[in-house]
Amino acid sequence: MSQVLLKDFLAQQQNSQLTESLAQVILSIATTCQAIDLALQKGALAGILGSAGNENVQGETQKKLDVISNDMLIDALQQHPAVAALASEELEQMTPAQASGEYLVLFDPLDGSSNIDINMCVGTIFSILKNDGELKTENFFQKGRDQVAAGYVLYGPSTMLVLTTGQGVQMFTLDPESKQFVLTNDQVQIPVETQEFAINASNQRHWEAPVQRYIGELQAGSTGVRGKDFNMRWVACMVGDVHRILTRGGIFLYPYDLKDPSKAGRLRLMYEANPMSFIVEQAGGASSTGRMDIMDVEPTDLHQRIPVILGSKAEVELVTSYHQA
């Protein structure tokens, strides 16, 4: 059977939303991620592991590869004729690109970068919005449902691109010989039944009562109300945790907690929660803050934080019902 390359797939699927210019933006991101992948593979050989010696706008210590991957994406997208502006988790302000561009691109250049030095999986997350009107930061403040495309690249044992343009979810695997992303699953669906959950259990003492209740029921396993055993998995990389859910089901939680009550959540709405929610919903799953659908949240800041619960639909709905009880 002949292979379907990313560029061919995008050409075949074009419609009023997936235009030629949007396809070209996606291809530019994919090509840049291949360069990031190569840098990751070189690792210590290229002297790019470890801290960059400074903090990003989030107050987090940057890794050298955070900076390198961020610069790669900015360089590629700022020159793209279809990109009006871009915003990165690593930069405080949006970055103007081409004034006549049709699209706005947001990205987390290297999700899970704390995993770099121990040679575990990391990823790149991106979200694409239509550019409507005068170029200003507020143009980015669109609900998750307004996204025209979203995806991530997982840098793991094999490098994979997972993409949605609102027509389901597709997975592409990078062929190391041809250097092309090849379609390997064009009908991604999250399994309905699940026995896996992902949560940072070190924060358990800070969780709100609804999450304490839900996780307690999972931990009780076959002796509790759920009547079956669950396994906990935690990669410390949202891309890795979401990829597992897409391939074998489950639920991911980074809920609001009382560790720092002044913060609405840990993850960023625009760079992480919205694109991942778009992907998960298109694969038959659901996402929630615990109180409302993530993609219905009105953004008010480029770096807005939010609680995130996503994955198998029935599990997300159950956790949400506990918050509303």
Same domain, 203 and 152: no
Is 88 annotated for ligand binding? no
Q: Can you tell me the distance from the alpha carbon of 250 to that of 122, in angstroms, rounded to the nearest whole number?
A: 19
Is 200 annotated for ligand binding? yes
Is 146 annotated for ligand binding? no
Q: Can you tell me the distance from the alpha carbon of 99 to that of 85, in angstroms, rounded to the nearest whole number?
A: 8
Please provide the distance, in angstroms rounded to a whole number, between the alpha carbons at the two ends of the chain. Answer: 52
Same domain, 45 and 168: yes
User: For the chain, what percent of residues have pLDDT higher than 70?
Assistant: 94
Is 108 annotated for ligand binding? yes
Is 90 annotated for ligand binding? no
Handedness of CA 162, 165, 170, 173 (dihedral sign): negative
Is 222 annotated for ligand binding? no
Give the pLDDT of residue 58.
56
Residue-wise pLDDT tens for the chain (325 aa)?
A: 589 999 999 999 988 889 999 999 999 999 999 999 998 887 765 565 555 455 455 555 556 888 889 999 999 999 999 999 999 999 999 999 999 999 999 999 999 887 777 888 999 999 999 998 788 999 999 999 999 999 999 998 999 999 999 999 999 999 999 999 999 999 999 998 899 999 999 999 999 999 999 999 999 999 999 999 999 999 999 999 999 999 999 999 999 999 888 888 999 999 999 999 999 999 999 999 999 999 999 999 999 999 999 999 999 999 999 999 8
Is 40 annotated for ligand binding? no
Give the pLDDT of residue 165.
97
Same domain, 203 and 298: yes
Question: Residue 172 sits in a domain of what CATH number?
Answer: 3.30.540.10
- Enter the tokens of residue 195: 């026995």
Is 89 annotated for ligand binding? yes
Give the pLDDT of residue 50.
54
Question: Residue 271 sits in a domain of what CATH number?
Answer: 3.40.190.80
Is 229 annotated for ligand binding? no
Say if 65 falls within a structural domain.
yes
